[in-house]
Structure 1
């Protein structure tokens, strides 16, 4: 056991100096009993200090839900990091923090949206139909079906049949209407052509169908035929000197078997006791001259026959009368016979 003062000698031997002087210990006396609700920091002198119980923490569940782990991580980062955790981790416990039940709910909503990738309720443009376009009207996004389609723009956009109103109403006169997905086009009927010189057209550009004059092409009606243009088609007639064969007039060479043939009156009719003089043809307007043979005389004196446009000869009016004799060769007998014949002829007329 060291003697008193040995401690100071030890401090002096170490070169520290004299031992510092400490105040004497405070005497302890009996403590006053603590009143409930009293928050006195310093008890009165002479009273023992009250015992303080250490606060106990609630036991955590054995297996916390997944969202609590994220919540605790965010809380621990804010609490341990001091000012690094941002405003949510500052201040005493319970200040500047979200309520305990609200934070997990927000985390669940965010995680659920990120996991599924589904659009938000207000993302209207993502729900538009494939035949619709998203447009902004009065500050709101709405889905509108494209041109040629009808529907609500989100669940239905069906093709609109523009041709249902009739080709004449949609495309104009002398047309046919053809519907397509989301549109339509017009075609001119046979015998008509579009004014834009295309096979198809849309009437909103002012195009319409006009009649084609087929008679501008020569030779449609072939030899002896005459072309007459009509609305959407043409007709053929035979010119003078030609007659239709195998059918009536008018005719269409692509539809009918009718054709025009040149008129031929053929061989002129014969006159008893007469013969044809000079040359002639069998075409319409041609004339044949007759004369009585030797020993005959004509009654009357009309000796011409003509070929008509119908392809026939006019009946000849020539009548040849032969000379008769009683065997004696008397001229009187000849004159008598002639007089009787002439009288009989005039009476028949």
Structure 2
């Protein structure tokens, strides 16, 4: 007995030892495994866990972060590779999934679920007992004698391609919407439902879903719940709502106005900087004031800011100081830049204003009219004393409905100072039309502003080509156009980065009545009414001018050579004659060579030509006045020795004109040069720097002329009382006519040439003054006996020797006759 028991006891001890060893190993492995693994996971080691099958973490199947969790894998999701096959749906479960046949189908094995597409045996339910699956898709099998028929339940119909297949009838797309227009039709197998659209709700007493459902709009803005941000205003729309920025606010970067999520911030004064490259103290002071307005701007005070801005602009333009001394291209470039900036600032300030309309008239007669509306339709009319505008509401709003619609007109008379002396660009069709009308070549057009400059702006900033035209009526000073003049509607157009000019493209002048001109334009800009003077070349008059000037230049050159070389006639009067001819020669030569401004732009060459013409023609008139002074001393005072010395004559003849030209150039250097001709610009009365002295000299010489004729009449009576009246009248007439040309009295025709289209005055003035050199040559050279004697003496030197004796005797006889008849010389 002891032996077996002992063996059994030893065996038990061995079993216990092995168990202890296994328990120790298990405890060691357990201590090596992570204790923090979340549910649905197993431990891999001390730092890693693995999600159970059907679960996954954000880091994958295995993870090391204690923040991770194992989430169910949706095997039925869109991106899953699981496919249950046709007529089956995938049903997700925690950690797994299963497939079931859709309603009306069942597995051939009668099982309820399966796992993959290969197990899919979903088939139509056998409606007919004797012939299973003959009628498909819920079709009802009806046995008949010798055959069978399939009938479809309501909402289904037999397929045209398969008489055993029932297909769904889509009532919602059948062409006749069975639901009320306030609902959406939802088709289902065998029927349809009428459900309210998003943003709608059933009317009281009407359930949502039946075929007779009727809905109404849900007013989200009055629901009591804040739908929009506090910086916006909620606007209910049919089926939805919008959030619009409050007045004086604008969408924050990244947001759009009138959206459900719109968020806004307060408007700021738009950035407005001076044009680059233009230095002007007046402009600098103005933009300093703009910076002050920018710094102190508050949307609630937008109206006051707008008034302060208009006053600041008026102050700058009323006393422009150095602005008027800028070259025309720089001045017009500044005008272009200024108008664009002015428009942008006014548009922004108008959007911040609380009211619906606003009109302001500044002390300088600058008028601003604004109309601000949330909604509109059809044609809109607005205006003020200078301009009125008729346009379509859709044009004012533009493509984007981003806030209140703004329409504005700013009319400024002071703006003319910036746009003075600007050129006018005509369309090629207009030039051809003018050529046909006047039967002469068109050379150019000179504009003259009649109205205020009207800056028109809208909320719509895309106004270069409008969908429908805008009609304007601009007020201006009543004026009747001349034969070659026309009232036109023009707008200010930029030349890019260089300058700007007036243009007519896209604008049509409809008519003028009682100081108001109506226009129609397909774009917006800054508009004005201009009086356009068309320069149509008169070929006959141009030919007369050129031939007359050439002949006059030849005669003036002969006069200059005669006065320099003929010694017997040297004296103070000859000095006056000489310098008069020199001034006329130089002035006529410059006029003939450079009066026309071919390029159309007033450059340095054109200004230089205008200055030289101004100086030499004024100098010629100064010498004409000295002709009158010499004539006064010769005829009236009768004492030749009381005349002026040569240096005094030169000081008056050249110094006075130099002083006038110097002062004129210092005051208004831009007055020299015009678009078509290199002459004085009539703007700001600058032409009177020439007409004033000329008128004064002509009037003084007229007094001398009348006095001379009167004294000559007395002298002729005293010298020869028995002279025949006819001869006496003839001598007086010749003398009087001669003095008319010497004293410049023929320029009176030019002073009275108010209408350049008066052909009689134009031809008379052109003929008399172009041939002034010829008249001076005849009067001072051909009709002067001493000069004729000198001419004969010069001619005798080149004549053959066999005629020398005859020439000498003739010269002697002529000399005696000259001494005998000196008192009757017409060269006086």
TM-score higher than 0.5: no
Q: TM-score range by the shorter chain?
A: 0.3 to 0.5
Bigger helix fraction: 2
Q: With a CA cutoff of 8 Å and minimum separation of 6, indicate the structure with the bigger relative contact order.
A: 2
